[in-house]
A and B are shown apart, each in its own frame.
Chain A
Amino acid sequence: MTALLLDVRDLRVSFPMANGMTEAVRGVSFSVAPGEAIGIVGESGSGKSVSALAVMRLVAQPGRITGGEILFEGRDLAALDEKAMRTVRGRHISMVFQDPLSSLNPAFTIGQQLVDTVRAHRPAATREAARDRAVEVLELVGITEAGRRLTSYPHEFSGGMRQRVMIALAIACEPKLLIADEPTTALDVTIQAQVVALLWQLREKLGLSVLFISHNLDLVAEICDRVYVMHTGNVVEHGDVEDIFLRPQHSYTRMLQNCIPRIEGVEPWSAAARSSTGEVAP
């Protein structure tokens, strides 16, 4: 078995409440191998987003990691100091959020934001080199006339385009792991399919590992190899995507599955469904 890229063991995250600490994540373990896409599904409040933020060591104050190990390439992120952690963020692990409308700084052009991010992790890079890299990643996420769009402000982009820009920002420094926290939830269905297809392509092209967080089991089934199902801070079930999808063991997984309205006769996880979304123009 190859070395794991990310190996989270017995992770615990707690938030102080009026009557003591409340555990939002209660001993969760999951792992991502290089090049693998794994999904974490669960309802709101199941602890999936908090787990992802804990990997980045960005759990919102006053919450904190109270136990467990976060091994990334063998290094325990939970034990790193803040300065060392900063070099991991963006450079090795990157993240895309739910709401692309507010995730870009409205006061700067996307070119400035991309160049800043590239140069933050490669101080040696010249402005021109960073700009070239910005054009390159924008083309990679399927933004046409990338060179011209560099001078555009975020509000001049549509929601789907902004999510592409967010993904471009996330992969600008060639991270090994991309955490996508409900990246499609704020988008409408056709754009969702495009973004999922884009993540799928990037994974193939760049050998990127993807940690995909969603409440939508169908979406997860489309791009992930393995799935973890979370409920009330625990992983209740995990396994290959087909096993979970076809033979869910836990009653909660079945409930999640049943709550998604779908068209009769179409199996969302099937090869046909994959290629149909995969063909969407980059």
Chain B
Amino acid sequence: MSVAEKRPLAEASHVMAALQRIWQGARLNWATTTGAVIVLVAIGAAIFAPLIAPYDPIEIAIENKLLPPSAEFWLGTDHGGRDILSRVIWGARASLTVSLLAVVIGVTGGVLIGLFAAYHSGSWVEQIVMRAIDAIASIPLLIWAIAIIGIVGVDSVDIGPFTFTNVHKLLILIGLLYMPTLARITHAVAQVEMTSDYVKARRVQGAGNLAIMFGDVLPNCLSPLIVQATLLVAIGIVVEASVSFVGLGVQPPTPSWGSMLADARNYVFSGEWWLPVFPGAAISLTVIGFNLLGDGLRDVLDPRRSTGRLLT
């Protein structure tokens, strides 16, 4: 019984082979592929924005104000005469910078906290850490973000030689707020892995605690973390857009999908539909892209769960 049950488990945590499988496309379905394509397009737009954007996204040309989509301006222009397509392309930068870097910060911190708690499994240290995390996670992320930026303000902050613009503050804040989720996952998986025989075997071979935690336990926690990180990127895009929408995120005139939506509010009922639709579509598509990719990765990395199969 134990043999039959352990086999798929062992292969599930088997990250390298799983990445190979992704590479070979053995289990890729159309949903995952679509997600991956959308994500790549968004990242490409962010990186190559200066090259592919047809117009300057910031410079105001009042004579072109509120033009509908045409051959000249594919997605129309806004109230300042700025090309919406160019602004959507440049807006990908703000969205993806915030969401991707926030996930990097969140994964780093979450993994450290989770492993720390798992290492102190059963002691009061673990209880304090995990209950503190529960407390933070009990308030929704968006409320935390709006409240803290609201208190700190949207101006740049200088700390030592570094200048933190509002975007930097936002991504650090979102990263901190991701930590509880990722710490919980790491903690839960690491606790199970730490009781496994291979950890005992590593101790017998003379490995130290740090080597075991980072060298043996962590690699076996990676699959659920990769899946969760992908899904958190999608959440980050929504949070950045929401915070920018209420004026606490990316500051004008820098384009961002959220602030473009905020600007478009006045034109929703006056017929200039292209103002809200295209940045909104950019947000939705990118979020869907990351979600599809995350679900696909979950299928490949973790055969025990089969959510997301509905789409195949």
- Give me the interface of A with B, judged by CB distance under 8 Å: 56, 58, 61, 86-91, 94-95, 97, 99, 101-108, 116-117, 120-121, 153-155, 159, 166, 169-170, 173
List the B side residues contacting A121 at CB < 8 Å.
206
Complex CA–CA separation, A69 to B122 (angstroms): 29
Check B215 for interface membership: any CB of A closer than 8 A: yes
Report 12 cross-chain contacts, Cβ distance below 8 Å, ordered by A residue.
A56-B204, A89-B203, A90-B207, A99-B197, A102-B10, A102-B197, A107-B16, A107-B216, A120-B211, A153-B14, A159-B3, A170-B205
The listed residue (B6, B200, B219) touching A107 by CB distance below 8 A is: B219
Check B56 for interface membership: any CB of A closer than 8 A: no
Check if A89 sits within 8 Å of B205, measured CB to CB. yes
Given A86-B206, A86-B208, A154-B10; A107-B220 close (CB under 8 Å): yes
Check if A153 sits within 8 Å of B17, measured CB to CB. yes
Complex CA–CA separation, A35 to B13 (angstroms): 40
The listed residue (B6, B13, B198, B204) touching A95 by CB distance below 8 A is: B204
Q: What's the nearest-Cβ distance from chain A to residue B7, in Å?
A: 7
The listed residue (A101, A108, A120, A155) touching B207 by CB distance below 8 A is: A120
Complex CA–CA separation, A214 to B258 (angstroms): 67
Q: What's the nearest-Cβ distance from chain A to residue B54, in Å?
A: 47
Q: What's the nearest-Cβ distance from chain B to residue A220, in Å?
A: 21
Check if A94 sits within 8 Å of B6, measured CB to CB. no
Residue of B nearest to A100 (CB): B197
Check B151 for interface membership: any CB of A closer than 8 A: no
Complex CA–CA separation, A198 to B16 (angstroms): 32
Known A99-B2, A155-B7; 9 more pairs at CB < 8 Å: A89-B205, A101-B10, A102-B6, A102-B197, A102-B198, A106-B13, A117-B207, A166-B201, A173-B206
Q: What's the nearest-Cβ distance from chain A to residue B50, in Å?
A: 41
List the B side residues contacting A117 at CB < 8 Å.
205-207
Residue of B nearest to A172 (CB): B205
Check if A105 sits within 8 Å of B198, measured CB to CB. yes
Q: What's the nearest-Cβ distance from chain B to residue A186, in Å?
A: 8
Using a CB-CB cutoff of 8 Å, which residues 185-222 of chain B contact chain A? 196-198, 200-208, 211, 215-216, 219-220, 222
Complex CA–CA separation, A143 to B7 (angstroms): 22
Residue of A nearest to B15 (CB): A107
Q: What's the nearest-Cβ distance from chain B to residue A206, in Å?
A: 17
